[in-house]
Amino acid sequence: MPQNSPTKTDSLLVVVTSLPNLEAARALARSLVDGHLAACVQISEGLYSIYRWEGKICEEQEVLLSAKTVPHLWEEICSFIKESHPYELPEILAFSPKHCEQQYGQWVSSEINSKQ
């Protein structure tokens, strides 16, 4: 198999959460990378959310955070996000891609495992 071909994987997990602003998203992203819970975190501004909370419909600007990690850290990263998140009930979702580029998946694993 060539080096750069996509490979079937169960070794990558993408964890997604939304935050109230860029400042909160940056702080959480840096903590995740610094703590070796994520190899990379992407932050996307411009999210507009409409949801029901405590019986009332709310509309808010939010920032989406997407962290690349490994499945065996799910419990730890989920707990860390809950403890660090400004929301009472944060959205925390995880997705395992069916395929990922082999070298990228290896890089994520090596970054996570480089904890000193």
Does any domain span residue 43? yes
**Could you tell me if residue 116 is inside a domain?**
no
60 occurs within a structural domain: yes
In a domain, 44, yes or no: yes
| Side-chain half-sphere CA neighbours of 89 within 13 A | 4
Domain of residue 57 covers 15-102
What element of type H or E holds 67? strand 56-69
In 3D space, the residue among 61, 77, 72 whose CA is nearest the CA of residue 29 turns out to be 77
Structural domain count, the chain: 1
Average pLDDT, whole number, for the chain? 91
Assigned domain for 10 exists: no
- Tell me whether residue 31 is exposed, middle or buried, using C-beta atoms within 10 angstroms of its C-beta: 0 to 12, 13 to 18, 19 or more: middle
| CATH at residue 31 | 3.30.70.120
Q: Please, where are the H alpha helices in the chain?
A: 22-34, 74-84, 102-112
Say if residue 3's pLDDT is above 90: no
Quick: pLDDT tens for 59-83. Answer: 999 999 999 999 999 999 999 999 9
Which pLDDT does position 114 carry in this prediction? 81
This prediction's pTM: 0.88
81 falls within a domain: yes
Over residues 25-51, the pLDDT tens digits come to 999 999 999 999 999 999 999 999 999
pLDDT value, residue 33: 97
Domain assignment present for 107: no
Mean pLDDT of 93-106: 92
Specify if 113 maps to a domain: no
pLDDT the model gives residue 16: 98
